[in-house]
Amino acid sequence: MASASPSSFKAARMEQFPRCLRRTPAILPQKLNLSQSQSWRWRWNSSACTTAARSNNNAPHPSNSIPVPVVAPSRSASASRVKRHTISVFVGDESGIINRIAGVISRRGYNIESLAVGLNKDKALFTIVVSGTEKVLQQVVEQLNKLVHVWKVEDLSREPQVERELMLVKLHADPSTRAEIMWLVDIFRAKTVDISENLLTIEVTASMRHLFLQSLLL
């Protein structure tokens, strides 16, 4: 699965956060403008604003120069919803790094839904899909950050992104059914990549796969 952030997408709330933050989530620079209603929880809690925003004990608000954002009432609800998160981990290569990363995630009891690795000489980029709540995700990111050879961990689900799924299907297609299959392939803008006597290989991308699969199975 490939992800990318197109520049044409309307600026999402997360673009407000400077890159340097992600390395040390617990410390926020003071100049941050937290007027957005939905901030990342893991920075949220460690920020100076949190005292003011989350104080629910009628304690006096400490006076500070940081603008106090309004806590969106739906935030706690969304925080406990299970979602699929895409994490990108950039590591310096070493033997067994895949094991390490998978180990860190499973040791904490979280499940990897999918994992894609791109290797380049001595560096590797992992794209991992983990499903869980916000808290789970925060923990996963923090634990990955503790690994010595990891250079950078990013949560891509927050950013504007483009996702594609690619499926290669090998079908039994004798001459009688072949025409029909090729007609279906045409409709769904899939591509035939290989053909032999009674086999047909089809490539499908994007998210139309549900309908296509169903019809194919018929």
Partner 1 sequence: MAATHATAAANTTFSSKCSLHPSPSLCPKPPINLNFSLLFPAKSNGPHHTPLRITCNAISRPHSPASTTSSITPAGTSDTFISRFAVDEPRKGSDVLVEALEREGVTTVFAYPGGASMEIHQALTRSTRIRNVLPRHEQGGVFAAEGYARASGRPGVCIATSGPGATNLVSGLADAMLDSIPIVAITGQVPRRMIGTDAFQETPIVEVTRSITKHNYLVLDVEDIPRVVREAFYLATSGRPGPILIDIPKDIQQQLVVPDWNQPIRLPGYVDRLPKLPDEKHLEQIVRLVSEAKKPVLYVGGGCLNSSEELRRFVELTGIPVASTLMGLGAYPCNDDLSLQMLGMHGTVYANYAVDKCDLLLAFGVRFDDRVTGKLEAFASRAKIVHIDIDAAEIGKNKQPHVSVCADMKLALEGMNKLLEEKGNKLKLDFLAWRQELQEQKVKHPLTFKTFGDAIPPQYAIKVLDELTSGNAIISTGVGQHQMWAAQFYKYKRPRQWLTSGGLGAMGFGLPAAMGAVVARPDAVVVDIDGDGSFVMNVQELATIKVENLPVKIMLLNNQHLGMVVQLEDRFYKANRAHTYLGNPSKESEIFPNMLKFAEACGIPAARVTKEEELREAIQKMLDTPGPYLLDVIVPHQEHVLPMIPSGGAFADTINEGDGRSQF
The footprint of partner 1 (CB under 8 A) covers 23-27, 30, 42, 45-46, 48, 50-51, 54-55, 57, 59-60, 62, 64, 91-92, 95-96, 99-100, 103-104, 107, 135, 138-139, 142-143, 145-152
> Residue 24 or 74: which CB sits closer to partner 1?
24
Helix (H, G, I), strand (E, B) or coil at 165: coil
Nearest to 203 by CA among 192, 216, 188: 192
Least separation, in Å, of the C-beta of 28 and partner 1? 9
> Residue 21 or 169: which CB sits closer to partner 1?
21
The C-alpha atoms of residue 74 and residue 36 are separated, in whole angstroms, by 13
Least separation, in Å, of the C-beta of 31 and partner 1? 11
Least separation, in Å, of the C-beta of 1 and partner 1? 24
Least separation, in Å, of the C-beta of 47 and partner 1? 9
> Residue 12 or 27: which CB sits closer to partner 1?
27
Cβ atoms of 87 and 128 within 8 Å: the answer is yes
Could you give the angle at the alpha carbon of 188 between the alpha carbons of 187 and 191, nearest 5°? 100
Long-range CB contacts (within 8 A, 24+) of 96-104: 97/124, 97/149, 98/126, 100/147, 100/149, 101/126, 101/128, 101/144, 101/147, 101/150, 104/140, 104/143, 104/144, 104/146, 104/147
Least separation, in Å, of the C-beta of 194 and partner 1? 37
> Residue 155 or 185: which CB sits closer to partner 1?
155
> Residue 18 or 92: which CB sits closer to partner 1?
92
